[in-house]
Amino acid sequence: MTSSFVRAATPDLQAHPAPTILVLDHDVETYRGQLAPVARVLGASSRDRAIDVVRAELASGARVQAVFVDLALLGGPGALRELLALDPDMGCVVVTADDPPFDEICGLLARERCDDWEVLHRPFAAGAVLHRARQAVASWWRRCRHADRAADLELRIGEANAELTRSHAATAGVLAELRGANDRLRVEMVERTRLEDERRLANKLEGIGQLAAGIAHEINTPTQYILSNAEMLESVLTEWLPAIETLATTGGSWPEEAGGASARQLLAELPELDTDINAAVTSILSGAKSIARIVGAMREFSRSDAPEMRLADLNRAIHATLEVVRHEYRQVADVELTLGELPQVHCHVGEIQQVLANLIVNAAHAIDRREPKTQGIIQIESLHDKARGRVEISIADNGIGIPPENRDRVFDPFFTTKPVGRGTGQGLAIAHNVVARHSGLLTFDSTPGAGTRFLVSLPVRGPVRDRS
Amino acid sequence: MTPPRPRILLVDDEQQVVSGLRRALSRRTNTFEIATACSAAEALVALAMEPCAVVVSDMQMPGINGIELLDEIARVTPHVGRVLLTGTAEADAATRALPTAQRFLCKPANIKTIADTCQDLYHYAKLAQLAGPPAEDGGEPLAVGSITALGIDAATIERARTAVSAGRDALLQVICHPALAAALLHMTGSEFLGARTEVSTLTEAIDLVGTMYFEQMIDSGLLLALDGAAADPIIALAERGRARMQSAVDSGASPTDALAALLLEVDRLGTSDITEWTGLRDPCGPAALLGLWGAPALLVERIAERWAAEVAAGRIGDGCIASAPPVVSSDHTHMAGE
């Protein structure tokens, strides 16, 4: 049951007939070594050769699902442009030793998929080639499904048009048909947007839902000491109010018949009482502030409702996130913050907070799984890379680390090594998608037994499509 | 010289929680002296140095957590009352605490609830000391407080598990068993389930707990399943309880009284080890056990009365299995709904 679920959610190399993958690079054999068992690998060492290969495939009625292009190769981005002109659905993997030229590559791609491409860094990490191929082929399947849908819609519009021609005489009827087709189309589009919104909301709710128990605990603690101290003050007031009134009305003469004895006793106990009352009031105020802080952080956390991206202070987002997830890490790790000066970043700050929350909770879980159990450290750093116009946030833990064999599956939906009930395996997959939507990069390095460091890198000016 | 007052030890890793509780409790009660600790380790040291009547502990603390702390206390000083006071909202928290925490309170708890709970535990611990036989070495008498599990035959557990999936009515068919009924009443004593209403029948208890928590209760470690020959004496004991219940019903007793009859020897099913059965123990006071576990006061009272009468008549104690009343094999299950 589980495996078919996974399959449906992640079209991978095994789930479909063997895909065809084109490699525009010198060392085709390296790729073939990793991909051969699951894919048909075609190699090309020049732009012209690559174009010929794709033409031949198309001519024979086949498609190339994904292409690896080495940017260092003469005419890399240009080759990509021509290949995409031949078949715009192709999944793209850009091979590079440096940061890829985001804007240039995004410009080559159709608007709706301008951040839907992969980067393969040299030197290749174990399993990285296979992983990127899987992502690129998955993206091809996604697009072709959309394409099918669009083709279907076009077909229906075509039918409506044909109807129009046939019933030329009855203009009113024809118009109604046309309007109907249009309405259906509009409904279809609205429906699609709604589904996307729903999915996003569901992800958000999952995030908050998983944290709700912890947040409740963090609020119940200060509520407990506010309540105890308030009850103590109430009892003090009830007991001493009559004596205080006596003191006030008798002007210090304290006649016995007006409660003088009790007033004198109050005066005797006052020094000790005073300390207790002060401590109680201080505690109530600090408890109320704690609750206000947590509630304030939750309010920030739920701001992902905003449909458009806004400028946000990511250091503040880090603080708010820590407040909300405090319960998840407090028992296992201390947090060390090294926050640099950051510019305001154009983003969905609520979504970015969810990404951070996921990474922090994961770090805590990785620490919690160490043996023997000792308090760990989660280091969070932020910095502004002015030269590249990016803000980077890194979250490092000294937990158990990620074994090499799992590294290329870290971002796969439903992949998890956590015990049942600890994670759905969705967290990092969602985080990856969110960061990708921001034209950012989510990467990690890990040493088993020593820890893992995740790096979120976001363009300060927001995703490419929002700038144009 | 006045004897030292019994002590309540408050344990919470949040300093403000313990100091707030200490201030409020000191004003509220003159019966107890209040001590505090900010970690389980600190609490164990405090306990070793000065005796305590009741420990009220937080659950989630760094290092040793509250459940582990109460576990240790149950093992080393079983006569000390054990209360968990937690702000957790996790669904299985109450059932995880079931074997070791005698009472489960939720933050924020008002000071009256906490003071009453401590008073209650202190009272039942003393009752248990009176009920139990004196220890041979002159030390602490055998403590009801050491009970952290109840023996039950595996077949009944299996029937209960099947009944859970079949729903509430099926559960009512199996619940007339001293161990299951006592565990259920322990569960209803937990504040986690919301209203601490005084239940008077097992039907009410099942409706309050619900099938999900009932299932968690079965798996919580509070019920220790026994197989084969080891199960024989406890099966006989359960049968005798049911027979008593039936005759109480036949003679027109109230539902509470009939339930008391079922539970009259439940303490003998108790074991201090949730993994290993140590055999039927000497009777040490079923009323004290259910009282410590937060069962309804009226029921506890009825059990205490019946128990005193049975002991006076020589029907409880050594050899009571041999002199057991004849086992009635008819169906007693309709009792639960009454």
Q: Which positions ≥6 away from B39 have C-beta within 8 Å?
A: B11, B13, B61, B62, B63, B64
φ, ψ for residue B52, nearest 5 deg: -130, 150
* Residue A249, pLDDT score: 76
Q: What is the pLDDT of residues A16-62, one digit of tens each?
A: 568 889 998 888 888 888 888 788 888 888 888 888 888 888 888 88
Q: What is the pLDDT of residues B167-196, one digit of tens each?
A: 888 888 889 999 999 999 999 888 877 656
Q: Which two tokens stand for residue B26?
A: 């000191």
Cβ contacts of A212 on chain B, cutoff 8 Å? 89
pLDDT band at A207 (very low <50, low <70, confident <90, very high): low
Residue A384 CA to residue A75 CA, distance in Å, equals: 32
Cβ contacts of A375 on chain B, cutoff 8 Å? 62
Best of A228, A238, A328 to substitute, by most chain B Cβ atoms within 10 angstroms, is A228
Q: What is the mean pLDDT of residues B196-224?
A: 85
Cβ contacts of A218 on chain B, cutoff 8 Å? 87
- Assign domain A304-468 to its CATH superfamily: Histidine kinase-like ATPase, C-terminal domain (3.30.565.10)
Q: What is the mean pLDDT of residues A151-163?
A: 71
Is ipTM beyond 0.90?
no
More confident residue, B230 or A8: B230
Pairing of strands A451-459, A441-447: antiparallel
Closest partner residue to A235 (CB to CB) among B27, B62, B106 is B27
* Residue A15, pLDDT score: 45
Cβ(A238)–Cβ(B33) below 8 Å: no
Domain ranges in chain A?
A: 2-151, 304-468
pLDDT band at A310 (very low <50, low <70, confident <90, very high): confident
Cβ contacts of B106 on chain A, cutoff 8 Å? 220
- Helix and strand totals (H; E) in chain B: 13, 8
Cβ(A320)–Cβ(A300) below 8 Å: yes
Cβ(A63)–Cβ(A20) below 8 Å: yes
* Residue A202, pLDDT score: 58
A2-151 matches A304-468 in fold: no
User: What DSSP letter does each residue of B198-242 carry, written as one string?
Assistant: ---SHHHHHHHHHHHHHHHHHTSSSEEEE-HHHHHHHHHHHHHHH
pLDDT of B214 > 80? The answer is: yes
Q: What is the pLDDT of residues A238-286, one digit of tens each?
A: 888 877 777 777 766 666 666 667 777 777 888 888 889 999 999 999 9
Q: What is the identity of the amino acid at B197? A: T
CATH topology of domain A2-151: Rossmann fold (3.40.50)
Q: Which positions ≥6 away from B135 have C-beta within 8 Å?
A: B141, B142
Q: Which residues of A touch B (CB under 8 A)?
A: 212-213, 216-229, 231-232, 235-236, 276, 279-280, 283, 286-287, 330-331, 375
* Residue A2, pLDDT score: 38
* Residue B92, pLDDT score: 81
pLDDT of B334 > 60? The answer is: no
Best of B8, B23, B110 to substitute, by most chain A Cβ atoms within 10 angstroms, is B23
* Residue B329, pLDDT score: 37
Query: Of the spans A184-188, B2-6, B154-158, which averages the highest pLDDT?
Result: B154-158
Cβ(B137)–Cβ(B329) below 8 Å: no
pLDDT of B40 > 90? The answer is: yes
* Residue A50, pLDDT score: 87
Cβ contacts of A223 on chain B, cutoff 8 Å? 87, 107-108
Q: What is the pLDDT of residues B145-158, one digit of tens each?
A: 889 999 999 999 99
* Residue A14, pLDDT score: 44
pLDDT band at B243 (very low <50, low <70, confident <90, very high): very high
Q: What is the pLDDT of residues A314-350, one digit of tens each?
A: 999 999 999 888 888 988 899 999 999 999 999 988 8
More confident residue, A410 or B187: B187
CB contact under 8 A, A212 and B28: no
The dihedral through the CA atoms of A121, A127, A130, A136 has a sign that is negative
Q: In Å, what is the CA distance from B267 to each residue of A390, A391, B193, B219, B292? A: 68, 65, 25, 20, 12
**Whole-structure pTM value:** 0.66
* Residue A102, pLDDT score: 75
